[in-house]
């Protein structure tokens, strides 16, 4: 067993690298539709997938989001959106291995079918139950509201890449009842059923090793970091060390 520290940015990169190698994703890239809904973690997912299919040119993580959380010192709108979203060019929609630039989930949701995949980020995760919830700022449910039509109605696969820094201890359903109640202020919260994919899942997929979070925190750029205890066969732990080393220099996210 060995322990490794992973920053939030490195965790996003780790998740993205592993998801790209997930067999259902590879299958959907060849003969289906993959929708990567804009978000900070999904920006890394889009980078890795587009790089894998040789179509990274023209993509930038800058502006690849609709709403984000920023420090109080930075100007933002009440909804969490940046005042200027002119750089937003759409979600990443890949059909039969070809990136259809300029499209969003709203353009293709009615055409999605079983075997297709939607990637959607999350804002809270119950690690023990592998359940995630999404902040809602849009009065009609936003991108997850649209996505669930296909997920529930046509068995489209929903994958939720989310870093362990977003873990919460309370029951997500109970939290949603509180913040969604009439008279409450701020964003709403929607627990969703999908495949939650964290750094722990990424390590298992890439190396076969088992990881668990044992400590967290840091300063001077390590804020939000996690410590993972990784166990398994010697070659699995060594493979994990190589993977962690490969992403350890990932710079912090910048707008």
Number of alpha carbons in the 13 Å side-chain half-sphere of residue 24:
14
The CATH classification of domain 11-198, taken from the options 1.10.3470, 3.30.720, 3.40.50, 3.30.1140? 3.40.50
Per-residue pLDDT reduced to its tens digit, 51-75: 999 999 999 988 888 877 766 666 5
Q: What percent of the chain has pLDDT over 70?
A: 92
- pLDDT band, residue 15 (cuts 50/70/90): very high
Q: In sequence order, which residues have a C-beta less than 8 Å from that of residue 97 and are 6 or more positions away?
A: 29, 30, 53
Would you say how long the chain is, in residues? Answer: 255
Q: What is the pLDDT of residue 255?
A: 67
Q: What is the pLDDT of residue 76?
A: 55
CA 59 to each of CA 54, 56, 102: distance values in angstroms, whole numbers, following the listed order? 12, 6, 11
Per-residue pLDDT reduced to its tens digit, 168-205: 999 999 999 999 999 999 999 999 999 999 999 999 99
Strands 157-161 and 131-136: unpaired
């Amino acid at each position: 067993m060995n322990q490794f520290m992973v920053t939030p940015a490195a965790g996003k990169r780790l998740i993205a690298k592993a998801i790209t190698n997930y067999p259902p994703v590879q299958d959907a890239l060849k003969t289906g539709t993959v929708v990567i809904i804009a978000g900070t973690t999904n920006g890394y997912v889009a980078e890795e997938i587009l790089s894998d299919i040789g179509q990274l040119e023209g993509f930038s993580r800058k502006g690849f989001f609709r709403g984000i959380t920023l420090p109080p010192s930075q100007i933002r709108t009440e909804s969490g959106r940046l005042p200027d979203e002119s750089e937003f060019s759409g979600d990443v929609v890949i059909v039969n291995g070809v990136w259809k630039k300029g499209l969003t989930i709203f353009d293709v949701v009615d055409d999605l079918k079983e075997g297709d995949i939607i990637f959607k980020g999350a804002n809270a995760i119950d690690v023990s139950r592998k359940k995630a919830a999404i902040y809602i700022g849009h009065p009609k449910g936003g991108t997850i509201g649209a996505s669930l039509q296909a997920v529930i109605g046509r068995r489209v696969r929903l994958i939720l890449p989310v870093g362990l820094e977003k873990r919460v201890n309370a029951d997500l359903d109970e939290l949603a009842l509180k913040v969604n109640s009439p008279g409450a202020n701020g964003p709403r919260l929607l627990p969703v059923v999908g495949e939650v994919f964290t750094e722990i899942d990424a390590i298992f997929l890439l190396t076969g090793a088992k990881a668990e979070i044992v400590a967290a925190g840091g300063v001077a750029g390590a804020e939000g970091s996690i410590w993972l205890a990784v166990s398994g066969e010697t070659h699995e732990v060594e493979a994990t060390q190589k993977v962690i080393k490969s992403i350890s220099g990932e710079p912090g996210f910048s707008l």
